[in-house]
Amino acid sequence: MKVSVCMITYGHEKFIRQAIEGVLMQECNFDYELVIANDCSPDATDEIIKDILKTHPKAPQIHYFSHSENKGMMPNFLFAMAQCKGEYVAMCEGDDYWITKDKLQKQTDILEANPTIGLVYTDVKHYDQQTERFIEKPAGLEVGKADVLRVMLKNKFIEFPTTMFRKKVLDDVIAVIQPSLLKGVIGDTRILLETAYLSDIFFLKEVTTVYRIVVGSASHPKNIDKYIFALKDSYLCRKEFVERHNLAKVWLSDAVCNTNRGLINMAFIADNYTNALKLLKNVVIFEMFSYSSKSVIQQKMTLGIWGKGFLAFLGIGVLRQKMKKNNQT
Q: What 3 state SS string does 255-293 have?
A: HHHHHHHHHHHHHHCCCCHHHHHHHHHCCCHHHHHHHCC
Buried b (16+ CB within 10 A) or exposed e, 65-83: eeeeeebebbebbbbbbee
Closest CA to 211 of 273, 152, 153, 156: 156
Q: What phi and psi, each to the nearest 5 degrees, are found at residue 274?
A: -60, -45
Walk me through the domains of the chain, giving residue ranges and CATH numbers. Answer: 3-213 (3.90.550.10), 248-328 (no CATH)
Spatial distance between the Cα atoms of 218 and 5, rounded to a whole number of angstroms: 21
Q: Using an 8 Å Cβ cutoff, are 30 and 2 in contact?
A: yes
pLDDT of residue 220: 61
Look at residue 139 in the predicted model and tell me its pLDDT: 67
| The pairing of beta strand 88-91 with beta strand 133-135 | unpaired
> Which residue(s) pair with 88 in the sheet?
3, 166
Predicted pLDDT at 316: 86
Regions in the chain scoring below 50 on pLDDT: none
Strand partners, 97: 210
What pLDDT is stored for residue 119 in this prediction? 98
What's CA 72's distance to the chain center, in Å? 15
Note the pTM of the prediction, 2 decimals: 0.92
* DSSP-assigned letter for residue 220: B
Instruction: Tell me what pLDDT residue 325 has.
Output: 67
Cα separation, 220 vs 243, in Å, equals 27
At 326 the pLDDT is 66
